[in-house]
Amino acid sequence: MSQKYWEDVNIDDALDAVEKMPTTDLAIDFFGRDNPTNPAFSDIEAGKRLGVGGALVPGMLKIAWMTQYVNDWAGPASHLASIRVAYRRPDVADRALTLSGRVVDKRSEGDKKIVELEVVTIAEGQPSVRGNVAVELPSRP
């Protein structure tokens, strides 16, 4: 993982896309097989009965992947300051998700150098989660 520096990042820079595969076991094990909150998170057949086609991918798993995606892009000396997400539609396990992003703002807040990213998960060509992530990057030494 390489380090991003504030001086090297520009508005509209694109982050390299990354594909994730939320397998059924991963989706179910994320919350636990005995999760009582929604059977579609722990049972393929329950998801099919609800009309979503299989086990649902937990939104918190997608946020975790977004966080990892941004941290991997920004590098070890960065600090993720905030993340806000909006869920647009559910995702079903065993269907690939692509994470992509771009830089939408760059600013100084006192001594802090902040880059704002727009990050999205895409499944079957449609966005499912949109996020805005603020990350503090170091300045070049």
- pLDDT greater than 90 at residue 48: no
Note the pLDDT of residue 55.
Answer: 80
Given a contact cutoff of 8 angstroms between Cβ atoms, the answer to whether 55 and 90 are in contact is: no
- What pLDDT is recorded for position 52? 78
**Which residues contact residue 97 at a Cβ distance below 8 angstroms, ignoring those fewer than 6 apart?**
19, 20, 21, 22, 57, 62, 65, 91, 121, 122, 123, 128
Write the pLDDT tens digit of every residue in 72-125.
Answer: 999 999 999 999 999 999 898 899 999 999 999 999 999 999 999 999 999 989
For residue 9, name the pLDDT band (cuts at 50, 70, 90).
very high
Res 34 pLDDT > 70:
no
Helix (H, G, I), strand (E, B) or coil at 108: strand
pLDDT at residue 76, rounded to an integer: 97
Average pLDDT over residues 15-41: 79
**Measured in whole angstroms, how far is the alpha carbon of residue 19 from the centre of its chain?**
11
Domains and CATH numbers, the chain: 6-22+57-136 (3.10.129.10)
User: Is this model's pTM higher than 0.75 or not?
Assistant: yes
Residue 30, pLDDT above cutoff 90: no
Share of the chain above pLDDT 70, in %: 91
pLDDT of residue 75: 97
Quote the mean pLDDT of the chain: 90
